[in-house]
Structure 1
């Protein structure tokens, strides 16, 4: 408690009085006014600082009353150092002269990233992905529906800083539907599990039992992917094969551009574990199911090979396209159920999710509840903020409440990948943003007439 003039707001770092050899550093979570007009607040002790300026989080001696002071830059930096936070992603909102940092080792937890349209969500996510590429050897696969990351390998300047040199040395691949050879974004039908093949064909094993049965018997042919499914079905004399032929023709599957037809497929690329693989799934223009085919192919393959324990960060931008609770086609369900399985069990195998979307309600609750890290940008909906407060109970409500007033590029980071809940302004990207907003064209002014 103290004077109304005290310079503390939620997110401020503070220290206890420096008169003794051991002092504490903490974070203000909540501030309010009492009925008498005094300032009252709550916070958390982050650790103890000894006389030499070293911080430890393993002990904190009790105290009854002490003065609180604004933490210095060196004291805040000691918090980051003690936590192993090395990814510089911006500056603190309350003290812009201090760099805000994330803990790279704690991306081994699932992360939820959200913010309404125009908040700078995709740009800020690009900043974090750049820093992971610079400072870690963690491979990532990025499902990119709006071409926001297709220029992740294109630096904005010719600078020769360590960061720029590091990015130039990374193996960043961009796979597109219109790509050729190793840059083509393709999947191989024969590599799908039977359940996934059925999902692509919208088959139910009970309702469509005859067609499903034929499918199980003909798609084991080694040339099924190169030649397509139709020749194998036409060679089968089962009457249900004719029904399955009609289904394939009605879905126009032979015209989908997603099939590898004997060429390289997306999982061949991912098996090489490039530093980053951007999948331009928004580039499929023929059939909306093609991007789901790519997602199912990748997620199924990663899950099937989980015992190899090869870590990878699975970044899904506009994640509601793949794991909404509302989309209920067989293909949507198959993709969503695989993501739910990875969210629940994938962490111990090195399959870590980073999901980005505009609203928490657009993500299936079984997925959202498994996320341990939160990145929140501007969010105006009280309903969404209430849901976030419920799911992410470790976030101070007063800091969540600031979200509607965030400027573009400001964010709240909380969870394991920061030493303490942090309000920050993201820094500029080193690479180009592929899907930046389109501006409003100005009016053409007519020259004055006499």
Structure 2
């Protein structure tokens, strides 16, 4: 992965730092961690040109990343992008092309962000998430039933992908007869990595139209689902507008399902590559030790988490990050994957340790934009891993790891497929 050319030398003949290793190649997508280690050491705040052509700063050290995520001088609103007004670059959630879908928590700042998050939090409560666990377990078992008798499966397409889609659809209140449509639309977005290709735009348009109509229908027939909760949500006489509710439902679906797909996929893959850690978790789960399952999910989020880079931030004034001057309007991307392997923060960071206790990783962000759906993703991750390890105790990779393909997206990190084998079972 690293550039093997001889390092440059200064006027006195002293060797300088080696050349920057290539970014955004397929090799980088497969294993970005050596490159991130180089950046942390030699260029912790690094300016680069993204595959889209947009220039941005990458923040790679843990301390800088944590401060950057909470810095109010960095806006989430793309209107502050120095190139956006001139049409030189497009940023935002993949597929977004209309203003009524852009008004969500990932694209706004306080005080609007504070108002919307407070309203949404009234519907998306810890109690609602905790009460959903039996349904997630039921979904996981149903999906495993679908392939347990074959002795082989692709865990991404047959388990990690449908589980969070059906779960979030159930939570939102999407009728069962419509959920396969959501699976198709979500599949289109995840297959193309959120790029601008026509299928993605059509999928987003159909999803937006469906959510708008569903919210309209539910206004006259409220239930116990999350969309009904969003409609009811109010604070000091304020309510979510229909556009805001549709945008929030969309972002909960979009951001909620892909992060969980990757958590399950990356986590299962890491356990299959480390038999000792996997056996430790299997034994604990069999003994009813739910505590280790919780710390295991946190370690898997740190070790090879589902979100590689935090979403866009834009400097609203000149500022300094890690000794590097950032100009007004310049985009900043916090590399969560790099920060969570920083040896100045984590002991032996490149080793998977499911018993790790001091584990304040940044897998779901930090500060006011900390992921609202993190409790649901953690719940789904725990249930998914417990179900797989309990139902398929001899689960193993069906291909050489070198054959696996990773999606080359910029924000998310996940496998395209995860072929596995196991002893066929009818139970």
Same fold, TM exceeding 0.5?
no
Q: Is the helix fraction higher in 1 or 2? A: 2
Higher CA-based Rg: 1
Q: Is the strand fraction higher in 1 or 2? A: 1
Structure 1 length as normaliser, TM-score?
0.27
